[in-house]
Amino acid sequence: MIATLLRRGLLAGLLAGLLAGGFAFVLGEPTIDQSIELEQMASDGHGHSHGEEGGEEEPFSRTGQKVGLFFATGLFGVTSGGIFGLAFAYFRDRLQAASEWGRSLSLAGAGFLAIFLIPFLKYPANPPTVGDPETIGVRTTAYFALMALSLAVVIGGWAAARALRRRGMGTPARQALVVAGCAIVVATAFALLPASPDAGEFPAGLLWEFRMSSLGTQAVFWIGLGGAFGLLGERAARKRADA
């Protein structure tokens, strides 16, 4: 059973990753191109030095990196999808939703919240040129620490809600208590972690567009993952019922 769910997760993740790559290609790439143009205009303005003086030779052309976009979202999709499938094996019979479709979508919703949305609220995605390369180590550590924490908060909140329901606590009180508890932990983490990098002179409109396309890319991925995994699960359930 677990092997089936793993395979289903890998496949759904790959499909969703490529779908998200398509979204990112159409709506995100233009903003990255514009950011890189701005960067080049800025460096041309300073020293009138094309390329040469810039130092490091880029191993990939912009076209190469656009192909790489699909490689990145595909691999992100396969790895997240595989873990999603394994997690589904554990959560399947513990979730409230009544169908494979509903369970898959609710687990994907939790994944979107924990893996992307909560970290994004503190550290929104940045286009090339925003952020000091010197601090990349610290920023990477802070980002993944927040991702781990928000995952723990979402799972912890879910477990607490379940325990309180078993004790017979009414729905409004239970939900208010759990949401407030999670919000306090997340807010404390937001306050303690280092600030998000300053965008400096970067145009605010372009920054917003980039961030919305990043949010959209992740939303497409998680909806695609939950949907594809759910459909594959429904199909398998129908086959079992027919047999």
User: Minimal CB distance to Zn ion: which residue?
Assistant: 128
**According to the binding rule CB under 8 A, does residue 230 interact with another protein?**
no
Considering the complex, what minimum distance in angstroms separates the CB of residue 195 from another protein?
A: 13
CA nearest to 21, candidates 96, 61, 71? 71
Q: Crossing angle for the helix pair 204-242 and 100-111, nearest 10 degrees?
A: 150
Of residues 162-221, which lie at the interface with another protein (CB under 8 A)?
162, 165-166, 213-214, 217-218
Which residues ranging from 28 to 57 are in contact with another protein (CB under 8 A)? 28-29, 32
Minimum CB distance to Zn ion, residue 30 (Å): 16
Query: At closest approach, how far in Å is the CB of 128 from Zn ion?
Result: 5
| Cα 6 to Cα 117: distance, rounded to the nearest angstrom | 24
Q: Does 92 bind another protein (CB under 8 A)?
A: yes
Q: How far is the CB of 126 from Zn ion (least distance, A)?
A: 9
Residue 22 CB partners (closer than 8 Å, separation 6+): none
Site map 102..131 versus another protein, x via CB under 8 A: --------------x--xx--xxxxxxxxx
Whether residue 229 contacts residue 9, with contact meaning beta carbons closer than 8 Å, is answered with: yes
Cα dihedral 110, 115, 119, 121 sign: negative
Contact characters 26-65, Zn ion, x per CB under 5 A: ----------------------------------------
Radius of gyration of the chain (CA): 21
Closest separation in Å from C-beta 95 to another protein? 9
Rank residues 150 and 213 by Cβ distance to Zn ion and give the closer one. 213
Whether residue 198 contacts residue 126, with contact meaning beta carbons closer than 8 Å, is answered with: no
Length of the chain equals 243
Question: Using CB atoms within 10 A of its CB, is residue 182 exposed (0-12), middle (13-18) or buried (19+)?
Answer: buried
Residue 151's binding partner, choosing from Zn ion, another protein, none, with beta-carbon cut-off 5 to 8 A by kind?
Answer: none
SS3 per-residue string spanning 49-112:
CCCHHHCCCCCCCHHHHHHHHHHHHHHHHHHHHHHHHHHHHHHHHHCCCCCHHHHHHHHHHHHH
Q: Could you tell me the two tokens for 100?
A: 């494979």
Smallest separation (angstroms) from another protein to the CB of 33: 10
Judged by CB under 5 A, the chain residues 120 through 149 that form the site for Zn ion are 128
The residues that touch another protein, with contacts defined as CB under 8 A, are 2, 6, 21, 24, 28-29, 32, 58-60, 64-73, 75-76, 79-80, 82-83, 86, 89-94, 96, 98, 116, 119-120, 123-131, 133, 136-137, 139-140, 143-144, 162, 165-166, 213-214, 217-218
The residues that touch Zn ion, with contacts defined as CB under 5 A, are 128
